[in-house]
Amino acid sequence: MDSNIKMKVNNLDLFYGEFQALKMINMEIKEKEITALIGPSGCGKSTFLRTLNRMNDLVDGVKIQGEILLDDSDIYAKNLDVTDLRKRVGMVFQKPNPFPMSIYENIVYGPKAQGIRNKDELNAIVEKSLKRAALWDEVKDKLHKSALALSGGQQQRLCIARTVAMNPEVILMDEPTSALDPIATAKIEQLMVELKERYTIVIVTHSMQQASRISDTTAFFLLGSLIEMNDTQSIFSLPKDQRTEDYITGRFG
Contact in structure between 53 and 61 (CB atoms under 8 Å): no
Residues present in the chain in total: 253
CA distance to 164, 201, 218, 246, per residue, from 193 (Å): 14, 9, 15, 28
Residues 47-66 that bind ligand ATP (CB under 6 A): 47, 59
Report if residue 43 touches ligand ATP, rule: CB under 6 A: yes
Nearer to ligand ATP, 16 or 99 (CB): 16
Q: CA 63 to CA 57: how far, in whole Å?
A: 9
Helix residue ranges, H only, the chain: 45-51, 82-88, 103-113, 119-132, 136-139, 152-164, 182-195, 208-214, 232-237, 242-248
Report if residue 45 touches ligand ATP, rule: CB under 6 A: yes
Report if residue 227 touches ligand ATP, rule: CB under 6 A: no
Report if residue 35 touches ligand ATP, rule: CB under 6 A: no
Nearer to ligand ATP, 63 or 144 (CB): 63
Q: CA 160 to CA 177: how far, in whole Å?
A: 12
Nearest Cα neighbor of 35 from 132, 206, 173 is: 173
Q: Least CB distance from residue 230 to ligand ATP, whole Å?
A: 19
Report if residue 15 touches ligand ATP, rule: CB under 6 A: no
Q: Least CB distance from residue 154 to ligand ATP, whole Å?
A: 24
Q: Least CB distance from residue 59 to ligand ATP, whole Å?
A: 5
Report if residue 124 touches ligand ATP, rule: CB under 6 A: no
Binding positions for ligand ATP, rule: CB under 6 A: 16, 19, 21, 39, 41-47, 59
